[in-house]
Amino acid sequence: MSELKQTSKATSNDIKFAVDRMLGRLAKWLRVLGCDVIYGQHLTGYGLIRAARAEDRLILTRDRRLKQKQPPEFILIESDHYRDQLRQVMRECGLTLSDPLFTRCLECNTVLQVRAKTTVQKLVPPYVYSTQEHFSWCPGCERIYWPATHHQKMVEELKRLGLG
């Protein structure tokens, strides 16, 4: 698919992240951008280092002491605010906003699959079914996604961040 499109810049799909458990909002936003992100309660200190090593992931952390534990490559996140955090990661990793957004499950990181409308009729509320045309499904946790208001708000938020 994207193999034909050669660019010198990394795309969000190229870098895999292991995100420290204290950076939950950042983890979610990186998934919105399509990044492969692992995140969870066990991901701190040595747990974070082990997980990053196992899958060759770039660590994102606020923990200044992590350096003493001889981690693989990591980025020390400077700010407490997720907007600044996201800006920092995009800047340092050369990430850009790429279409399409929302290709990955925000809860479990699995790549979403497009579902034909008729196949989700019994799985979504009737109002949603009657007002939406496009649906994605997560093979990992079986959530159904559709472009809702929060979806639009997130896109606007990204634009406000000047990340477009």
User: Which value, in Å, is the radius of gyration of the alpha carbons in the chain?
Assistant: 17
115 contacts: CB under 8 Å, gap ≥ 6:
135, 136, 137, 144
Q: Does 113 bind Zn ion (CB under 5 A)?
A: no
- Scanning 19-27, 78-86, 95-103, 104-112 for contacts with Zn ion by CB under 5 A, the matching segment is 104-112
CB of 108 to Zn ion, least distance (A): 3
Q: Does 141 bind Zn ion (CB under 5 A)?
A: yes
Nearer to Zn ion, 38 or 138 (CB): 138
Longest dimension (CA), the chain: 55
Task: Using CB under 5 A, pick the residue from 75, 108, 154, 163 that binds Zn ion.
Answer: 108
Q: Which of residues 2-61 bind Zn ion (CB under 5 A)?
A: none
CB of 105 to Zn ion, least distance (A): 3
99 with 12: CB under 8 angstroms?
no
Would you state the structure tokens that stand for residue 66, as one six-digit string?
């992590």
Task: Using CB under 5 A, pick the residue from 19, 60, 138, 158 that binds Zn ion.
Answer: 138
| Size of site (CB under 5 A) for Zn ion | 7
In this structure, are strands 113-115 and 135-137 parallel, antiparallel, or unpaired?
Answer: antiparallel
102 with 136: CB under 8 angstroms?
yes
Q: Does 140 bind Zn ion (CB under 5 A)?
A: yes
